[in-house]
A and B are shown apart, each in its own frame.
Chain A
Amino acid sequence: MSENYGKLMKEGLWEQNVVFAQMLALCPTMAVTTSGTNGLGMGLASTAVLVIANILVSMIRHTVSSQVRIPVFVVLIATLVTIVDMVINAWMHELYKVLGLFIALIVVNCAILGRAEAFAVKNGVVASAVDGVAMGLGFTGALVVIGLIREFLGAGTLFAQASQLLGPSFAFLEVKISGYGGALLMILPPGAFAVLGFLLAGKRILDRKLAERDAAAANTAPAAA
């Protein structure tokens, strides 16, 4: 089974990455990735919801009939998002001020309902939890990468306000490139589309190169043996 979990992690982080492969959850991806910090916060909050939603859906998968499953899942996810929203507001108020409205919008993140439908409803609790973690971290990674690129090109900073999100000890993450004002366009919506497009193209090129290398390795291995 452990090999299986490794495969789940690999799928979530790279092969079936929510943003770069499944092209799901593009709305929050476009909207919150104006900085690396925003992407990180949004990604972690989404991951928390995704993991709990996956576990709960997997637990109730035999009791909910397939005719009513969608409304049940939606209510479940909405409840979870509301709880996460309140928790962050109560105990991590600084983070709440940074993320603001976007936390409530996790409820419309189709990746969460998508994983509930595609995975949790067919698999056991532990596998579902691992899948949630993998998918969530893949989503977080994508958001952070897009956010960092847009922030760097658009404002000349990296992880601005990270200490507000993660606590003062993470202030070292904040980088400011002096003498560069930034290209405003990258912070605006067109910048999000352009960065996502170039990253997708890059991932496809990389995947093709990897596939070629694997094929070459597969060809040479029997010859050597």
Chain B
Amino acid sequence: MKPAENAASLTMQTVASPHAHGGNSVSRTMFRVQVALLPATLYGFWLYGWPSFFLWLLTILSCVGFEAMSLKLGGVTRIRPTLLDGSAVLTGWLLAMTLPPWAPWWVAVLGGFIAIVIGKQVFGGIGQNVFNPAMVARVALLVSFPLPLTLWITPLPLSGAVAPDFVASLRIFLTSLPVPDAMTSATLLGHAKTELSRGVDLAQALSGAPLMSWMGMRGGSFGESAALLILAGGLYLMATRVITWHAPLAVLAGVAIPAAIAHGVNPAHFLSVEAHLLSGALMLGAFFIATDYVTSPNTTAGQIIFGLGIGFLTWVIRSVGGYPEGMAFAVLLMNALTPVIDRFVKPRVLGRDRKGRPLDIPEKA
């Protein structure tokens, strides 16, 4: 009985104080992020039709399914509350946004497995993962299956006549039949990279096709081509204080500054700032991926360093790397640096200055 008594005497008493609860929770945050993703997602359904809806649905379902399986294997007794916190749904949602809209069903299932099991649960579940699960899955899929992961469908709005109906869409999704070439197109970044490697300069390559658009009327990933809607979602998140402006702005600046300099020096070889900002996963990455609480630094200064790093690496990979788009790689690289950033950029301890010395508090007379 002795040790137990000792332990009891050491237990801190929770005193009744004006402890106000902000009402915030994991599930509320996740819900708000999902609300913010909704406009771009619905627009994506309209642009790319039923196959993109099936892809979105199955990616989320497989993420939730693998989450449940991992929790069960890990011996967690209260599975339902953890499943309902919405984090697995959000991971699946974000992953689906970055996939080609007509990707076959097995991409969704495998992506869910990689994101949840390898990207999140092996590290210990929510809050423990080093790397952003959706980006881990995106990169693993891209490296493993380069062909289906770079097949970009030209937008075929649901209202149009050429869009496949429900049954045809299901067939496309389940059988992964080859898509006719006429229905595909290159993304802006992919097009620029191919043309550059053929020796065609950018002024010539980019004249013509409407590759750049605020509203995303072009080939691209399911949810990330409409820059305007992603931006709107991001602003909503800032307004509800789910995220702060530091990381997103730093990501955008990290791309825009080197892009402006390089484009100014050699416009025939480097894409313009506008082209960089409006293409690929940049907007989604800046507002929804770089702001992930778990895998980004804790301090605002750290988040700015983190964002600038993501932006700059993205620009480097896009401009001189082998892949046309580098957002996911840049995020993973900076995720790996997050502990280092957190080690060097620390918040000031209350009552002490930045170097850790006690503050001189003038005595009151």
A-side residues, CB < 8 A to B, are 181, 183-186, 188, 190, 194, 197, 205
Contact = CB atoms under 8 A, between A and B. Distances in A.
B140 interface: yes
B144 A194 contact: no
Contacts of A181: 145
12 contacts: A183-B144, A183-B145, A184-B143, A184-B144, A184-B145, A185-B140, A185-B143, A188-B143, A190-B140, A194-B118, A197-B122, A205-B73
7 closest cross-chain pairs (CB), A and B: A183-B144, A185-B144, A185-B143, A184-B144, A185-B140, A184-B143, A194-B118
A181 B118 CA distance: 22
Nearest to B142: A185
B118 to A, nearest CB: 6
A186 B118 contact: no
Contacts of B143: 184-185, 188
Interface string B274-306: 000000000000000000000000000000000
Interface string B54-78: 0000000000000000000100000
A185 B139 CA distance: 10
Q: Which applies to chain B's interface (DSSP): helix, strand, loop or mixed?
A: helix
Nearest to B147: A181
A197 to B, nearest CB: 7
Nearest to A205: B73
A188 B145 CA distance: 13
A212 B112 CA distance: 32
B332 to A, nearest CB: 11
Contacts of B118: 194
Interface string B104-127: 000000100000001000100000
Nearest to A183: B144
B124 to A, nearest CB: 13
Contacts of B122: 197
A183 B140 CA distance: 9
Given A184-B143, A184-B145, A197-B122, 7 more contacts: A183-B110, A183-B144, A183-B145, A184-B146, A185-B143, A185-B144, A188-B143
Nearest to B122: A197
B187 to A, nearest CB: 21
A181 B99 CA distance: 20
A223 B334 CA distance: 60
Nearest to A193: B118
Interface string B209-244: 000000000000000000000000000000000000
Nearest to A154: B144
A201 B113 CA distance: 16
Interface string B251-291: 00000000000000000000000000000000000000000
A66 to B, nearest CB: 42
A188 to B, nearest CB: 7
A186 B143 CA distance: 10
Contacts of B146: 184
Interface string B146-170: 1000000000000000000000000
Nearest to B117: A198
A69 B204 CA distance: 72
